[in-house]
């Protein structure tokens, strides 16, 4: 029998099963620089040690999106190597700060299973938890993926679907203990907009576009040790529907978050992802843009504000053309235009 693994199929999952994912990873300063080179991120908290110290951090904190990418990468080999589609995320909570030097390990519990009526695939719901080397939980998230069955046919008569919250409530956000906004310097971060400058319902067109190239998205995905073959194997993907490799959806999240700096430069800390979905695939050559709607704004005390944001990532289009289409889709409760690739609902911390 061949010792290499083809990953798990729908039949290999059972309710309550806990998977301890391999290859825990120590995060270094180099991951931080590579992340900047791969995404163009400019949030000051993660590239300026003096700024981080002014906000109360004695060590260099890791961007939560980078920490999530590395933690998520650990789960791929077990959960989504045979995924048809990564359907969604919910209840992504950043519980403790991840620092340079931390080693992140991840385990996932199967919290839901549902066969599709075609008999070929099923949906697996998992609750994943990332720990640091001290055994503290640093990230917790739920996601669901459509997974191939090993053998066609229906197995079971019932489905278990977990109840997922549509939001990590503002009251339940984990505020980094060290975070101190009193010395926050907007000249360093690049914009003067604090929480009070934003209004519910307001849209921000982040203006800039980033074109994805082959080496960049595959390097990012390899850096996270995410080994899903759809991103890497052109020889096989050339006979797939799109005839090319798919860009890892997480990389699109990173690009959109990096683009959002223009208009949200003070939204330094991603505190939670309430929900997210990859609506369409992206490919090398696509130019990614982002726009954000401010959903809700709330003061948390101690100079800290929280904002719930909805960022749409879209490609090869202009905001002027896309916006009316979005409004129409909203009114008609129809699907978003096909050049929208990401719909991400998340909560950030920002000075008051």
Minimum CB separation of residue 280 from a copy of itself in Å reads: 16
Structure token digits, residue 50: 């003096």
CA proximity to 90, closest of 136, 64, 128 = 128
The strand pairing partners of 276, in sequence order, are 89, 344
Give the residue among 136, 7, 163 at the shortest CA–CA distance from 83: 7
- For a copy of itself, the closer of residues 113 and 245 by Cβ is 245
Residue 135: CB minimum distance to a copy of itself, A: 11
Q: Which is nearer to a copy of itself, 114 or 229 (CB)?
A: 229
Cα separation, 38 vs 40, whole angstroms: 6
Residue 109: Cβ-neighbour burial (10 angstroms; 0-12, 13-18, 19+): middle
Closer residue to a copy of itself in complex, CB, 162/209: 209
Nearest to a copy of itself of 120, 222 (CB atom)? 222
CA distance 321 to 114: 38
- Of 185 and 299, nearer to a copy of itself (C-beta) is 185
Please write down the long-range contacts of 33-37, taking CB distance under 8 Å and 24 or more positions apart.
34/219, 34/223, 35/63, 35/66, 35/220, 35/223, 35/254
Give the residue carrying structure tokens 């949030």.
43
Helix (H, G, I), strand (E, B) or coil at 151: coil
Q: Which is nearer to a copy of itself, 39 or 97 (CB)?
A: 39
Which of residues 219 and 329 has its CB atom nearest to a copy of itself in the complex?
Answer: 219
Least distance (Å) between residue 90 CB and a copy of itself: 27
Least distance in Å: CB of 344 to a copy of itself? 17
| Rounded least distance, CB 2 to a copy of itself, Å | 5
Q: Nearest distance from residue 57's CB to a copy of itself, in Å?
A: 12
| Minimal distance, residue 62 CB to a copy of itself, in Å | 13
Q: Is 328 exposed, middle or buried (0-12, 13-18, 19+ CB in 10 A)?
A: exposed
Give the DSSP per-residue string, 225-261: T---GGGT-HHHHTTSTTSSPPPPHHHHHHHHHHHTH
């Amino acid at each position: 029998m061949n010792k290499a693994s083809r990953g798990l199929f729908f039949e290999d999952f059972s309710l309550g099963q806990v998977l301890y994912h391999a290859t825990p990873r120590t995060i270094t300063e180099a991951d931080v620089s590579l992340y900047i080179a791969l995404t163009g991120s400019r949030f000051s908290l993660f590239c300026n040690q003096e700024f981080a110290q002014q906000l109360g951090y004695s060590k260099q904190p890791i961007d939560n999106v980078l920490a999530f990418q590395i933690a998520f990468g650990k789960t791929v080999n077990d959960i989504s190597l045979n995924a048809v589609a990564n359907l969604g995320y919910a209840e992504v909570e950043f519980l403790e700060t991840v620092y340079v030097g931390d080693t992140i390990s991840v385990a996932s519990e199967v919290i839901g299973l549902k066969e599709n009526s075609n008999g070929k695939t099923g949906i697996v719901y998992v609750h994943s938890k990332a720990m640091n080397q001290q055994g503290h939980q640093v990230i917790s998230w739920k996601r669901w993926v459509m997974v191939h069955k090993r053998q066609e046919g229906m197995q079971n008569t019932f489905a278990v679907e977990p109840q997922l919250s549509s939001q990590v409530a503002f009251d339940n956000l984990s505020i980094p203990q060290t975070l101190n906004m009193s010395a926050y310097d907007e000249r360093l971060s690049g914009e003067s907009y604090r929480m009070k400058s934003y209004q519910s319902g307001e849209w921000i067109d982040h203006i800039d576009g980033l074109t994805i190239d082959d080496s960049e998205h595959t390097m990012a995905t390899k850096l996270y040790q995410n080994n899903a073959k759809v991103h890497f194997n052109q020889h096989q993907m050339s006979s797939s529907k799109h005839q090319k490799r798919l860009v890892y959806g997480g990389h699109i999240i990173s690009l959109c978050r990096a683009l959002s700096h223009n208009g949200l430069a003070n939204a330094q800390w991603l505190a939670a992802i309430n929900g997210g979905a990859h609506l369409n695939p992206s490919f090398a050559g696509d130019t990614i843009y982002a726009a954000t709607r401010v959903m809700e704004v709330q003061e948390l005390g101690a100079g800290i504000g929280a904002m719930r944001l909805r960022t749409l990532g879209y490609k090869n289009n202009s905001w002027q053309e896309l916006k009316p289409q979005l409004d129409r889709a909203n009114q008609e409760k129809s699907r978003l235009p096909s050049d929208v690739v990401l719909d991400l609902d998340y909560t950030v911390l920002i000075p008051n």
